[in-house]
Chains A and B, each alone.
Chain A
Amino acid sequence: MDRKAIPIIAASGIEYPANEEPDFKAQIKQVFGKQIRRIGPFIQMALIGAADSVRAAPLPEATNVYFTSGSGDMDVTIDVLHRTVRDRQIPKPLSFVNTVSNAACFYLTKYFSIGGSTSFVSTREFALESAFFQAMTDMSVLDVETALVGSVDILTTPDTTHRTRVGSAPAEELAQGSHWFRLARSDTSATPIGYLVDTSIFKDAGSLIDHLKPLLSANCFITFGNRADSSNSQKMINELGAQEYQAQKQPAGHYGTNCGQIFRDYLHREDTSASQLLYVQQNEQGHLSAVLLAKD
């Protein structure tokens, strides 16, 4: 494996289609053995999704969290906007403090004893990519032993407004999910389930191909986000010589960070050893993001 590739030693998460109404409160109680007060679905999903990755092995003190979301905790924002703009009231203190995007990081720190830093970073349309990018960057120059990279995106109502909020097409299925990836230093004693080889953003398909071609192995799968246009995609398939990835479990629907489901699908299945997975998404401007994973 490439010396610069970062071992992924665990991946975990949850995902639900729009027609399911999971009882997150009960799940929190199951995962933590007790109730955690004053948190809504967004933070609950962060904690539930991260738990298995955290508990896969003891966390070193130098553990950083890189948390992200496509659309953020829309629930608390909606609650605060109802109070302030519609009802012209002071926002409820417990809602207001949770409007900071890094509110979930406080609970992650408290309940998983995170010893390093926590952050909330995002790039429009490329949320999970930005968290991977910063984790990779920090691991290359700082003394970070473990990075927990995670995302959460939730469902809101009503359906039509939700589609505007998350940028989905009218007929597209909707879903919500939380996905977590535990990155370790290259000298880890744990057995990697895969590697994060590279992640970047490119102005066009040509520069993406130029950059990635030297990094790809003969056995490379490729898959695209919902915004990628088909002519670009075909060009990449042809020029990179990659074959389209067929997930065992596709994302249940659209949300900003549903690529996390594809990454977990790839990392956890047994029939993809000695391969790579390239995920490409496109933004409004036509820029392309790439995340390249690999397995021994």
Chain B
Amino acid sequence: MAELDKDTLMAELKEMIVEECDTEVEADEIANDIRLVGEGLELDSLDALQISLAIKDKYGVRIEGGPDSREAMANVSSLADFIIKAKQAS
């Protein structure tokens, strides 16, 4: 896969979140830095698992449980950084 452009990736992730979590907001309404779980987009731990699985399916990047995953799952921007970093490392 060609190197991922962060902006493109963030746009894809927003579409993915809307699709997987069935959110009321549209993809382009999700800010890059809005919190995903809890206050913010108001997703929960089940949504987080759903997103992790979709990311693994689409990008082959595994987000394991633990502090790293919480950090990665903070917002769309941090998710994109995590994926880019994991892709570069592999």
Contact = CB atoms under 8 A, between A and B. Distances in A.
A93 B21 contact: no
Interface residues of A, number: 10
Contacts, number: 26
Contacts of B53: 90, 92-93
A85 interface: no
B49 A93 contact: yes
Contact of B50 (A34, A35, A89, A94): A94
Given A89-B57, A90-B53, A92-B53, A97 B46 contact: yes
- Would you call the interface of chain B mostly helix, strand, loop, or mixed? helix
- Chain B interface residue bracket vs A: 10 to 19
Contacts of B49: 93
- Would you call the interface of chain A mostly helix, strand, loop, or mixed? loop
A37 interface: yes
A93 B50 contact: yes
Contacts of A89: 57
Contacts of B20: 92, 94
Interface string B6-30: 0000000000000011111000000
A38 interface: yes
Contacts of A92: 20, 50, 53-54
A37 B21 contact: yes
A113 to B, nearest CB: 20
Nearest to A91: B53
Please give me the 3 A-B residue pairs with the lowest Cβ-Cβ distance, nearest first.
Answer: A93-B49, A37-B22, A35-B24
Given A92-B50, A93-B49, A97-B46, 7 more contacts: A89-B57, A90-B53, A92-B20, A93-B53, A94-B20, A94-B21, A94-B22
